[in-house]
Amino acid sequence: MPKIISHEFIKNPLQQSRLNKKSLCDYVINIASGCLHGCTFCYVPSTPSIRTNQERLKQNGVVDPQMDWGQYLFVRDEVAEKLDVVLSRKRVWNVTESGRGVVLLCSGTDPYQNLAVARVTRAVVKVLLKHNKRVRILTRSPLWTNDLDILVHPNITVGMSLPFINDELGRSIEPAAPLTTDRYKALKVGKEAGCRIYVALAPTPSVLVKSDFENHFEILSQLEPEVMFWEPINARGTNGKRMLKAGLEFCRDVMSKKAWATNFLQQWEMVEDAASKSNCSELLHIWPDPQLKGFIEPLMVEKWLYKPTIEQWK
């Protein structure tokens, strides 16, 4: 399918979120639907944001919203203006212990994937700061370093998804996303500029071994991020089909629930050991999956669900 890049309009860009269970936020704003990075493992096409909009996407030329993920992008150009109106009228702000009232940009797309989306993101951040809201950026693109003039702020933390630093592996799994080495450099630039930063080691592919995690934690710890989230790849949905279509045969090994859980637990142990060796255990924040409960002591999962991060918000 040729790439489709267009626009879309939405009534209310501010959505309450259940991602407080991952200690990320209480609200999300998605600047676009679709994502040109098209990561093979991406879970977004399986979420209601795409599944409940399949018909509309098809009417706009997307043949298969699941399998064609990465080939379409509908930018919501008016988000900042609409958000300003919504926030001016809003009287009640939801603040949970783990979500801390934070607004996440974005949960269903990348807020800095290209210049058009970055332009909207910049305007949205300004509106959120104007209304004194806490902001969490999550991206795979170094373009955010163009906005350091506004992102160096106590109410903003910027995170990059960096499951490993290996450009060859990155090209096979996240073919259209910026190089992992460039992401690391961007975090370094942001940190040196005084930006609050965090890292999402997510999702880690099953091909990583103990020494990969040790090297990764050693390098990331030098950045002194405020928190390091971690979760392994889950290839049990249509994302597994996309990974196989991209030639990622390794994902066959984790496609059953039992194999997925086994890999999750093996990597969990490696991650905790590696974090400990790099003296950053206190920064490690596990994103557990409730479906692990049949495979480990349920308390291990409960311990992490809704647990506030170590991050300090003023």
Determine which residue in the list 29, 35, 124, 284 makes contact with ligand SF4, applying CB under 6 A: 35
- Residue 306's Cβ-side half-sphere holds a number of Cα atoms within 13 Å equal to 8
> Rounded to the nearest whole angstrom, what is the least distance from the CB of residue 178 to ligand SF4 in the complex?
10
Nearest-angstrom CA–CA distance, 99 and 266: 28
Q: Does 104 bind ligand SF4 (CB under 6 A)?
A: no
The alpha carbon of 39 is separated from its chain's Cα centroid by a whole number of angstroms, namely 11
Give the span between the Cα atoms of 46 and 182, in whole angstroms. 28
Taking the C-alpha atoms of 135, 65, 203 and 29 in order, what is their torsion angle to the nearest 10 degrees?
Answer: 10
DSSP conformational letter for 212:
H
- Using the contact rule CB under 6 A, the part of the chain among 8-16, 33-41, 81-89, 124-132 near ligand SF4 is 33-41
Least separation in angstroms between residue 30's CB and ligand SF4 is 9
Instruction: Name the DSSP class of 199.
Output: E
Structure tokens at 175: 């073919």
**Chain position carrying tokens 């004194």:** 132
**Contact at 8 Å (CB) between 306 and 98?**
yes
**Is the torsion defined by CA of 231, 236, 242, 248 positive or negative?**
positive
* Cβ at position 76, least distance to ligand SF4 in Å: 15
110 lies in the site for ligand SF4, by CB under 6 A? yes
42 forms part of the interface with ligand SF4 (CB under 6 A): yes
Residue 231 sits in the site that holds ligand SF4 (CB under 6 A)? no
Select 39 or 135, whichever has its Cβ closest to ligand SF4: 39
Between 38 and 288, CB nearer to ligand SF4: 38
CA 285 to chain centre: 14
Binding-residue pattern over the window 161 to 180 for ligand SF4, x denoting contact by CB under 6 A:
----------------x---
CB atoms within 10 A of CB 124: 26
Q: Does 234 bind ligand SF4 (CB under 6 A)?
A: no
199 is a contact residue toward ligand SF4 (CB under 6 A): no
CB 60 within 8 A of CB 3: no
Q: Which residues pair with 103 in a beta bridge?
A: 27, 135
User: Between residues 42 and 223, which has the closer beta carbon with respect to ligand SF4?
Assistant: 42
Q: Is 74 exposed, middle or buried (0-12, 13-18, 19+ CB in 10 A)?
A: buried
* Shortest distance, position 164 Cβ to ligand SF4, whole Å: 14
39 lies in the site for ligand SF4, by CB under 6 A: yes
Give me the least distance between CB of 209 and ligand SF4, in Å please: 23
The sign one gets for the Cα dihedral 303, 230, 306, 309 is: positive
| One of 23, 33, 71, 109 touching ligand SF4 (CB under 6 A) | 109
Check residue 238 for interaction with ligand SF4 (CB under 6 A).
no
| 212 contacts ligand SF4 (rule: CB under 6 A) | no
Smallest gap from Cβ 33 to ligand SF4, in A, equals 10
Query: How near is the Cβ of 13 to ligand SF4 at its closest, in Å?
Result: 17
- Judged by the rule CB under 6 A, the positions of this chain that interact with ligand SF4 are 35, 37-39, 42, 44, 109-110, 140, 177
